[in-house]
Chain A
């Protein structure tokens, strides 16, 4: 038998049928649902008189529209002040009831960002195919699952048929070897990868992240890396299963138990690329050379080291790239050639499906402990990824550390990552954000986003501008 990549193995195991032209039906094990991309899909089912193929393959939680202040959340659904947002959340509740789908609704302590909740509950398991109407579904690849975002028509398709119509992507290996310097994190690795291959570098590929620097990451760190595979253009990113994966899953609510657990572990430990498996493209990075990263522009590939400078468009030879730099600098209100550390910040956002897990919050808390947020920072907020992350953080006293330092401690949700709720970045304001996209208007109309790691965001909160977290 020929050598297979991890992606080949999961794809082959889920192949239901394949047409001569390569179009395949792939069986989907888990479908995650949130309120924004599902209402039209449920409506489509109703109009066609269809039922979910297998209701227990789905689970839902509202996240994008959910308010994050304690006062709003105490009021439950009535705490959603925007009537349109409220309809969307209510519609999810109603659809889940009607179609018999498990939902962790906004009053459930398990509610949170769908990509945080899935792994946390053990609903994400190695070797699964997982889809969700959200591009950051790639996150779940950290557990050795094949996971990617889909559109609403496909949400309806998966609900109705338990399958996806797809063509196989190409295989890419991104190898990060060597030892990651102290203070440099999973977020910096993935931003450095995107800086190297570009936001379209992974288009048409499934990326497997490997190498000792990747395998040395915790499972939460691996989720941060896979989360941003889509920012490199790849729908899915994944990482081989090892003992850390197994240890992470053991005992989680929906993980198998007893004898089933032992059988599952045996199967899962084979979920890695075979020796000699061939990749269509291989990219290599040396972890020792990666520094804390900061984005300066309006695409995640517009990224440099915290000690670097913003590119000077006059130095760019390619006219199309020069135009992109000029457009980005205009929107960001920045000057080419100036230092990253000189960017003045107004807002700090620690949260999102990229960086809102307990380790992210611990890393941020460690930096701000006993210090105060700079007076020039207008708003600094920490938004845990789920109700259970929040509870854990409070048990560890992290909430007090943040509050004492002058950061707001909020309730779980997507929040200012995409600003569909009330948490919006102001027009012209610069934000150090642990989220995943720095597109124009992403965090709020006219808002200016700089993507960084949680420790870097925390350090920026204290200093009012970017500092190299390794020098603290």
Chain B
């Protein structure tokens, strides 16, 4: 997994509550059997005026000029500023894959849906929960200042504003450790192979009916 230490970049404000995973990456792009290449179709139904298909030439498609992402001032955004319950809906990991592929490294919101939140950490993408008032303030600042950037310091657990003001955030310490070091979950779990085997042996004796799936 990609390491995350300190990231700095332009902030894209997506002023909309309950952004669901269909909004982040529509279903037709889920037919891909790869993990990469979803960036051009991030927020597809709002970013373009036509309906995209997996084989569309995205560079030739008409852009929705009204969608915030298409405003030149937000080009190359690395930090996504969002509203309540971001990432609700399906479990598709294609949602964080698309955000990552586009270039986002962190998402700031008052709340996230559970499965999406969890999926972000598996992909080196950092979701940060901040109080609604802080998020409201950031929306106002981003919209008022062209080229507004934030620095995200995971080790110090701080969001640094252009003024130098620092906003602290909470993060699960184990997930932080994995992100900072780019650790692979599977490798870590397999270090506990003996414990898994021991559990399984006892469990099989106690509840053999869970081990009967065969044709």
Contact = CB atoms under 8 A, between A and B. Distances in A.
- Please determine whether chains A and B interact with each other in the same assembly: yes
Interface of A: 14, 16-17, 19, 21, 23, 25, 27, 29-30, 36-37, 39-40, 43, 48, 50, 53-54, 56-57, 59, 64-65, 82, 84-85, 87-88, 91, 102, 123, 125, 127-128, 133-135, 137, 148-154, 156-157, 160-163, 165, 167, 169, 199-200, 203-204, 230, 233-235, 254-256, 260-261, 263-264, 267, 299, 320, 323-324, 327, 418-420, 427, 437, 439-442, 445-446
A464 to B, nearest CB: 27
A160 B113 CA distance: 26
B119 A21 contact: no
Contacts of A446: 51
A50 B186 contact: yes
B163 interface: no
Interface in B185-204: 185-186, 188-190, 192-193, 195-196, 199-200, 203
13 contacts: A16-B192, A17-B195, A27-B200, A39-B33, A57-B213, A84-B55, A102-B214, A150-B115, A161-B193, A162-B196, A163-B192, A256-B208, A441-B22
Contact of B85 (A56, A123, A233, A263): A233
A420 B192 contact: no
B118 A84 contact: no
Contacts of A418: 22, 27, 90
A299 B215 CA distance: 40
A88 B212 contact: no
B114 interface: yes
B32 interface: yes
Contacts of A151: 91-93, 96, 115, 118-119, 122
Identify which of B54, B199, B208, B213 gathers the most chain A CB atoms within 10 Å of its CB.
B213
Contacts of A14: 203
B85 A160 contact: no
Given A16-B192, A135-B91, A162-B196, A153 B208 contact: no
B22 A82 contact: no
A23 B45 contact: no
Given A151-B91, A199-B85, A267 B115 contact: no
A167 B172 contact: yes
Contacts of B115: 135, 148-151, 230, 235
Contacts of B195: 16-17, 25
Interface residues of B, number: 63
Given A125-B210, A163-B196, A320 B83 contact: yes
B30 interface: yes
B20 interface: yes
Contact of A149 (B18, B31, B91): B91
Nearest to B33: A39
B2 interface: no
B123 A153 contact: yes
Interface in B16-34: 16-18, 20, 22-23, 26-28, 30-34
A153 B122 contact: yes
A446 B17 CA distance: 19
A162 B93 CA distance: 20
A203 B30 contact: no
A157 B186 contact: yes
Contacts of B32: 84
Q: Nearest 4 pairs between A and B by C-beta?
A: A153-B122, A149-B91, A151-B119, A151-B93
Interface in B103-149: 111-115, 118-119, 122-123
B207 interface: yes
A324 B35 contact: no
Contact of A40 (B33, B55, B203): B33
A65 B90 contact: no
A441 B30 CA distance: 14
A50 B84 CA distance: 39
B186 A200 contact: no
A135 B35 contact: no
B22 A327 contact: no
A146 to B, nearest CB: 12
B122 A65 contact: no
B209 A263 contact: yes
Contacts of A161: 186, 189-190, 193, 196
Contacts of B209: 125, 255-256, 260-261, 263-264
B59 interface: no
